[in-house]
Structure 1
Amino acid sequence: MTGNATILPPPTPENLAAFWPVGVSVVAPIAVVLAVLYLLGAVALWRRGRRWSVLRTISFLLGCGILFLTGSLGLNQYAEWLVGALVFQQITLMTVVPPLLIVGSPGRLILRATPHRGIGRVALRVAHGGLRSRVASAVLHPAVAIMVAAALYLGLYLTDLVSVAIALPAGHELLLMTFLVGGIVAAVPLWSSDPLPRAPSYAARLADVGIELQIHAIFGLVLLRTPSLLFSALSSPPPSWSVDPLFDQAVAGTLAWTYAELPLFVILIVTLARWGSRDAKLAARHQPRHEADLEEYNAYLASLEGRGSSSAGDEQGQRGG
């Protein structure tokens, strides 16, 4: 561990939410850089008189703000000693921040704001090549999101690999970056409206969300129901903190049951709404054609009926003659 628990005060709500200028995580400056680059692109479009959604801009900046706070508040210091704080960071970086960033459509902003000459042209070619590559197509497969969630919730914790990782030099930073990148990879197929090399069906998205909900539920249940400590590196908080490690472990399980599930339920509702909206648009688009076909078919039946009546009249006329 890189932190020194002897100089940390007890983890009260005030200390967890306080800003700590010393020991800020690397994700905090990353958030600042992302926000500045996004604003530069958005302002460049607005200056040219081109439209760019204010709501998308707010969403991306909100994601950057939450990312900055996750790495700069006291929570980041205590996450090297308390599993509840670390799981809170993980959930935030994997299920809260990525959707906000992705809804901001940074990929589309890059394509619109980057100049199509000089180094900008080279950057666009690289971006297009990467987007169309087999690697991008494979990474954005819905099954990858499930594997990421299983590896970073079940595999990392239930094998106590989290203790090995956090004991390494800069191990906490490595974990945070892994959570963030894994969350973005898992969220892109579910949230992105940018052109992707692989567009998952709505059925695949629903299956993905359903399985991830179960992974969170299993993870939370294990932490809540296990009567012994699971994590060797996160089971010895300083006695002066008066923190029960088992209670801390139960807090982490409760977070997995509640905080981690809420964004997935939002995805579930949004996916169902988009699916219904798409089906309604397709039905409205094909309705005039169906009505034309029906009218043509009715006209055909009417012509057959007219021919039948005409033939019957001719036969009666011949018999009368």
Structure 2
Amino acid sequence: MNPTSRAVTSTLEIADLVTFNVTSVPLLGWLAVACLIAYLAGAISLWARGRRWTVPGTISFVLGCLAWFAATGLGVNQYADDLVTALVFQQITLFVAAPPLLLMGSPGKLLLRTTPHVGPGKWVVRAAIAAQRSRAAWILLHPMVAIIIAIAAFPGLYFTDAISWVMATPGGHQTLLALLLVLGIIGGAPLWALDPLPRSPSFGMRMVSAFLELQIHALFGLVLIRSASGMLSWYSTEPEGWGITRAFDQSLSGSLVWTYGQLPLLIVLIFTLSKWRSRDLRVARHRAPAEDAALDEYNAYLAKFHEHEAREDNRKGSA
């Protein structure tokens, strides 16, 4: 049970969840701002020197940082102590929505292109390259790791009520959010990253990974929608005065998982199928001339063979 539940005397509105108060923004929220500033500084420095840098990638990274900040720096962060919906929104945003946007911004490439390769910058570049080539990175980017992370992040936390222990631990809430962001980036890298990776899964493996994650989220969302109130000890009390019940709160959080949480994975499936088809068409185009030449050669061989057989038959008939 949440011992710090606030006394509520008015109906909860959407505006309450998106309010901004500079004094209540946690460190994780300010970290999103710092990453945004650093990325934009790097992109602008490249443009100022006349060097190319992707505008779509920059927009993607900016949107990722904004989603990250929205989940941690706005009013929803304060209400996560009292509403399952608010907490699930934070988790989905940091684990499922923000990582793809951040990864498609190619922050690794930007780091290597903007960091000086002399002085202290040399050690930053060496550390980044060493991390990219490390055995640990190779293991973490296995597609099965993403599936294990998805199971631990949602069913593992909620079905065992471990989420209540996390919320009751001082600093547990913010630590969980930071961990989910990191795990979301690790799990999403094989599917979304444009930076060079130590391993690149096949299109088939990407399809399997995305499909299994969809099923995990679907099961988790369905349980939240259909479960009775009081499923989680931290959220066992009714949110009286907000015009909602705990059962509605849990059901709404499950609906978020079914919609908001599934959309990025559906995009992965569509994108992967499209890339797979494009790859096959490209291979077929390159293969067609070689296959045609081989077929012509084989047909010429058959023609010569039949011509030889015909001559042999004529010779035997003449004899």
Task: Describe the SS at the equivalent of 2:22.
Answer: coil
Could you tell me how far apart the structure 1 residues matched to 2:136 and 2:126 are?
Answer: 16
Residue matched to 2:44: 43
For 1:131, the aligned partner's letter is: Q
Residue matched to 1:5: 6
Moved more, 153-162 or 110-119: 110-119
User: 1:140 offset after TM fit, Å?
Assistant: 0.7
Could you tell me how far apart the structure 2 residues matched to 1:267 and 1:284 are?
Answer: 25
Residue 269 (1) aligns with residue 248 (2): no
Residue matched to 2:180: 179
Task: Describe the SS at the equivalent of 1:239.
Answer: coil
Contact 1:143 1:208 in 2 (8 A): yes
User: 1:238 offset after TM fit, Å?
Assistant: 5.1
Residue matched to 2:74: 73
User: 1:242 offset after TM fit, Å?
Assistant: 3.8
Q: Give per-residue Cα distances to partners, 1:160-215, cap 9 Å, x unaligned.
A: 11111111112211121122111111111111122111111111111111111111
Could you tell me how far apart the structure 1 residues matched to 2:73 and 2:63 are?
Answer: 15
Q: Where does 1:145-164 land on structure 2 (aligned, <5 Å)?
A: 145-164=146-165
RMSD over aligned Cα atoms: 2.1
Contact 2:25 2:73 in 1 (8 A): yes
Contact 1:3 1:77 in 2 (8 A): no
Could you tell me how far apart the structure 2 residues matched to 1:160 and 1:142 are?
Answer: 27
Residue matched to 1:54: 55
Moved more, 262-271 or 109-118: 109-118
Residue matched to 1:221: 222
For 2:168, the aligned partner's letter is: A
Residue matched to 2:292: 291
User: 1:121 offset after TM fit, Å?
Assistant: 2.2
User: 1:311 offset after TM fit, Å?
Assistant: 4.7
Could you tell me how far apart the structure 1 residues matched to 2:150 and 2:80 are?
Answer: 20
**% of aligned pairs identical?**
46
Unpaired runs of 5+ in structure 1? none
Q: What TM-score, normalized by structure 1, do the two folds share?
A: 0.92
User: 1:106 offset after TM fit, Å?
Assistant: 1.0
Q: What TM-score, normalized by structure 2, do the two folds share?
A: 0.93
User: 1:54 offset after TM fit, Å?
Assistant: 0.5
Contact 2:230 2:237 in 1 (8 A): no
For 1:185, the aligned partner's letter is: I
- How many residues of Structure 1 are paired with residues of Structure 2 in the alignment? 318
Could you tell me how far apart the structure 2 residues matched to 1:71 and 1:3 are?
Answer: 19
For 2:39, the aligned partner's letter is: Y
Change (3 A) 1:160 1:13: same
Contact 1:81 1:237 in 2 (8 A): no
Change (3 A) 1:202 1:48: same
Unpaired runs of 5+ in structure 2? none
Could you tell me how far apart the structure 2 residues matched to 1:118 and 1:8 are?
Answer: 59
